[in-house]
Amino acid sequence: MNITISQKKITNIIVTIALILLIGAGGYYAWTNNLLERFLPKQEIKGMEPALNAVAAFYAPNLDGGYDAWLAQVCAGMSEDGCGLLRNMYGEVVWEAFVNSGARFIQSQAMILEDVETLNNNHHIWKLGVTVIFEDPQGEQKTNQLQTYVQVSFNKENKTWTLERILFDQEIKERYGVDMGAGQ
């Protein structure tokens, strides 16, 4: 019994195998270099409002309400540990900086730009964009746009993300190589 395969059929088989190998190699390269993230839809992060509201409250304090009211507003979207850290470690220093700025803060809004990293304790680091609207000491309304990095944790009971802390500029520079500049 003789099996006859035409030259055209052999060429088609070789081209098909070459294309499969090329697509496989391209897919492997894209996967290992995280190139697929550009083209795949972003997974929506649900329940992030408490953490984002805490950041917004942090950057736009109602100075007339006082320090304790500001802490309560920020801590509403923070974990217990995060609130304790703010209260005991750096809250008063930040509050005094706001008071001494001479500005009157009108509104702030935070939005997630990127889920940067998942830490060993399952906390995440988010890169945020923050818009702050304020009146300067001369009464002129201004808008400040800044970026910051925050550590957040997922509250399984409430199915929401809560703020642990806002990362310090030096920490952001050392960990992510990003110089936040003055005032950010």
Q: In CATH, what number is assigned to the domain containing residue 80?
A: 3.10.450
Residues 16, 102 within the same domain: no
Go through 1-19 and write b for each residue having 16 or more CB atoms within 10 A of its CB, e for each that does not. Answer: eeeeeeeeeeeeeeeeeee
Structure tokens at 138: 């001369």
Residues 78, 153 within the same domain: yes
Q: How far apart are CA 153 and CA 51, in angstroms?
A: 9
Provide the 8-state DSSP code for 40.
S
- Assigned domain for 2 exists: no
Residues 73, 98 within the same domain: yes
- Assigned domain for 43 exists: no
Residues 104, 172 within the same domain: yes
Residues 116, 65 within the same domain: yes
Grouping H, G, I as helix, E, B as strand and the rest as coil, residue 147 is: strand
Instruction: Judge contact between 119 and 135, C-beta under 8 A.
Output: no
What's the pLDDT tens digit per position in 25-80?
887 777 676 665 555 445 557 899 999 999 999 999 999 999 999 999 999 999 99
Max Cα–Cα distance, the chain, nearest Å: 99
- Assigned domain for 183 exists: no
Q: Is residue 183 very low, low, confident or very high in pLDDT (cuts 50, 70, 90)?
A: very low
Structural domain of residue 74, as residue ranges?
Answer: 49-176
Residues 123, 69 within the same domain: yes
Q: Is residue 119 very low, low, confident or very high in pLDDT (cuts 50, 70, 90)?
A: very high
Res 56: pLDDT: 97
C-alpha 85 chain-centroid distance: 20
Residues 121, 84 within the same domain: yes
- Assigned domain for 184 exists: no
